[in-house]
């Protein structure tokens, strides 16, 4: 076995942080993505514009720059708001800027833009006749969404969703730069301290490959489930 020189428990803890961060940001990104896709397809001019600006700006700027902006700017922004509340309304609160929450918010916010594009394409791929049929049955629009549009949309969205998830997983490594103790940060610290970079960085790379392989398998199962009724397409 490899001698991790006592960094083993911290590396495992870091792996936990990576996985939690990735899963929570994925959930946030899916919610934001659904909202963005809905806004992009809405008849309201303002909503459409806002969603387009959001997806264009986010996808035009590096993740790391956005992260630094939100991490370093976030605390200053939060302080300014609590100062404002104190001076103007005499409300005395102190909001602590939690690094983990900031990480989830940033990554979720970034990937919400990518998910928005994926979902929009998938929603448009659902045959309009299906939706009309649902309405003809007297279904409310929320019921149409739940029973007809969403399940059929997912079939088209899954390949893009899986792709986004793989990129998101790798993006979580960037939080180590900003101060969150994920497994990359632990490995980098250990490499510097012990002068044995391969001992720590290679196992972390393997963990990423493992997570990617497991999620590939899960997505293949999901695809099979949502392909039901489309006979092996």
Segment 207-226, which members bind another protein (CB under 8 A)? 208-209, 212-213
* Distance in angstroms (rounded) separating the CA atoms of residues 186 and 148: 46
Decide if residue 191 touches another protein (CB under 8 A).
yes
Decide whether 112 or 134 has the Cβ nearer to another protein.
112
Collapsing DSSP to helix, strand or coil, 82 comes out as helix
Q: Which of 41, 139, 173, 222 binds another protein (CB under 8 A)?
A: 173
Decide if residue 176 touches another protein (CB under 8 A).
yes
Sign (positive/negative) of CA torsion 158, 163, 166, 168?
negative
Q: Which of 19, 23, 66, 222 binds another protein (CB under 8 A)?
A: 66
* Distance in angstroms (rounded) separating the CA atoms of residues 225 and 218: 11
- Please identify, among the stretches 41-49, 115-123, 131-139, 191-199, the one whose residues bind another protein according to the rule CB under 8 A: 191-199
* Distance in angstroms (rounded) separating the CA atoms of residues 1 and 96: 41
Least separation in angstroms between residue 188's CB and another protein is 6
CA distances from 56 to 10, 61, 105, 137 (A): 38, 9, 18, 38
* Distance in angstroms (rounded) separating the CA atoms of residues 160 and 117: 9
Q: What would the two tokens of residue 193 be?
A: 């301290």
Q: Packing angle between helix 150-171 and helix 8-41, nearest 10 degrees? A: 140
User: How many residues does this entry show for the chain?
Assistant: 233
Q: Which of 170, 181, 219, 226 binds another protein (CB under 8 A)?
A: 170
Decide whether 50 or 191 has the Cβ nearer to another protein.
191
Decide if residue 109 touches another protein (CB under 8 A).
no
Task: Give the binding site for another protein (CB under 8 A).
Answer: 57, 59-66, 68-69, 72-73, 76, 166, 170-174, 176-177, 184, 187-188, 191-192, 197-198, 201-202, 204-205, 208-209, 212-213
């Amino acid at each position: 076995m490899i001698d991790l020189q006592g960094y083993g428990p911290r590396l495992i803890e870091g792996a936990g942080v990576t996985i939690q961060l990735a899963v929570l940001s994925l959930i946030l990104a899916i919610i934001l993505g659904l909202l963005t896709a809905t806004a992009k397809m809405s008849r309201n001019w303002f909503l459409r514009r806002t969603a387009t600006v959001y997806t264009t700006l986010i996808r035009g700027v590096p993740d790391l720059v956005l992260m630094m902006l939100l991490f370093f700017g976030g605390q200053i922004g939060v302080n300014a708001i609590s100062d404002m509340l104190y001076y103007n309304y005499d409300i005395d609160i102190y909001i602590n800027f939690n690094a983990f929450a900031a990480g989830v918010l940033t990554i979720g916010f970034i990937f919400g833009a990518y998910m928005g594009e994926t979902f929009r394409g998938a929603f448009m791929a659902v045959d309009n006749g299906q939706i009309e049929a649902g309405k003809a049955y007297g279904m409310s629009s929320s019921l149409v969404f739940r029973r007809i549009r969403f399940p059929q949309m997912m079939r088209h969205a899954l390949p893009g969703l899986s792709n986004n998830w793989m990129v998101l997983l790798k993006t979580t490594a960037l939080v180590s730069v900003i101060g969150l103790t994920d497994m990359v940060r632990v490995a980098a610290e250990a490499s510097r301290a012990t002068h044995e970079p391969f001992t720590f960085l290679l196992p972390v790379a393997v963990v990423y490959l493992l997570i990617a392989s497991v999620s590939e398998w899960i997505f293949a199962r999901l695809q099979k489930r949502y392909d039901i009724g489309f006979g092996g397409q």
